[in-house]
């Protein structure tokens, strides 16, 4: 955003576990927030805090200097952005579209090209950090698109994240998020398997964490989700169903590049098994339940 719109209108679509906190942090930073969500009641708190409601993405886009999407699936992004009554049909010339959904790199490229034809700038900027990072404004944000658009959007990103990196051309942000999800999925298999081993061997998992989380085995997932697992807290910082979606995108992209991703394939199969047991709406740390079922 340029200086004249630095604290202008931001339209935010998608008020889920992370989106609501991200939108709130934009309001805290002084932006005028307009919101739309599939179910309006998820916007109630933000409306009470001063956000403006829109019944459609199209209506919101007409008012916004920057429109941010943070929805569930690539098909949702495609419909909301490129659909007949979507964002691009109504976006102001010179405005900026930022898709922060974890989505397909190929779709990010399509959106960029479509926006270019309409005189709208576009960035793909998926995030990592879960519900905690979103709440605290400390998300890692991975950005693809034109560098000048990234530079102008930096104040917006800084309201939501603390590790903001320009990765390159359109689609680069989504490719980087795939790298992130591959690493997380492999790590979560290690975290849950380690804690399952601790339980099965008769150790106190909390005491085990004291030894291993500060050494070479340490990770964000071990320190933040390990205690949730021990406490039996499977509330979603990130849904199992969304992990399955992300790993599917990563596998499709890897196959297109000729990369055989062994750990990625295993992780997706495990999460699919977990979802089949009724855990699709649980947090990814619920993966340990597969091990406990073996008892």
Residue owning tokens 């779709």: 107
Catalytically annotated residue among 7, 40, 117, 177 = 177
Residue owning tokens 């590049």: 257
C-alpha atoms less than 13 angstroms from C-alpha of 129 in its C-beta half-sphere: 23
| Whether 92 is catalytic | no
Tokens standing for 9?
């209108």
Q: What angle do CA 226, 287, 237 make, to 5 degrees?
A: 60
Closest-CA residue to 142 (of 99, 86, 94): 99
Provide the 3-class DSSP secondary structure of residue 92. Answer: coil
Cα separations in angstroms, 27 against 7, 31, 51: 10, 5, 8
List, as one string, the DSSP characters of 220-278: HHHHHHHHHHHHT----SSBHHHHHHHHHHHHHHHHHTT---HHHHHHHHHHHHHIIII
* Residue 53: strand pairing partners: 35
* Residue 13: strand pairing partners: 36, 69
Residues that are catalytic: 177
């Amino acid at each position: 955003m340029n200086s004249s719109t630095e604290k202008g209108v931001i339209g935010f679509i998608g008020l889920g576990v992370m989106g609501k906190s991200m939108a709130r942090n934009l309001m805290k930073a002084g932006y005028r927030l307009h919101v739309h969500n599939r179910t309006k009641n998820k916007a109630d708190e933000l409306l009470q805090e001063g956000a403006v409601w829109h019944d459609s993405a199209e209506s919101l886009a007409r008012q916004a200097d920057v429109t941010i999407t943070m929805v569930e699936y690539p098909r949702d992004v495609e419909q909301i952005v490129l659909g007949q009554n979507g964002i691009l049909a109504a976006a102001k010339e010179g405005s900026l579209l930022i898709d922060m959904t974890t989505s397909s790199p190929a779709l990010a490229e399509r959106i960029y090209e479509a926006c270019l034809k309409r005189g709208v700038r576009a960035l793909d900027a998926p995030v990592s950090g879960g519900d905690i990072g979103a709440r605290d404004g400390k998300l890692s944000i991975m950005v693809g698109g034109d560098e000048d658009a990234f530079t102008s959007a930096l104040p917006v990103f800084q309201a939501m994240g603390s590790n903001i990196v320009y990765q390159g051309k359109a689609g680069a942000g989504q490719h980087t998020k795939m790298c992130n999800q591959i690493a997380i999925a492999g790590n979560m298999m290690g975290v849950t398997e380690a804690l399952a081993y601790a339980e099965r061997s008769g150790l106190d998992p909390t005491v085990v964490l004291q030894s291993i989380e500060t050494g070479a085995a340490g990770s964000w997932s071990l320190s933040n989700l390990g205690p949730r697992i021990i406490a039996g807290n499977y509330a979603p910082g990130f849904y199992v169903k969304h992990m399955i979606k992300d790993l599917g995108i990563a596998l499709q992209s890897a196959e297109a590049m000729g990369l055989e991703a062994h750990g990625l394939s295993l992780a997706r199969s495990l999460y699919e098994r977990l979802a089949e047991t009724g855990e699709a709406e649980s947090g990814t740390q619920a993966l340990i339940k597969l091990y406990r079922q073996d008892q």
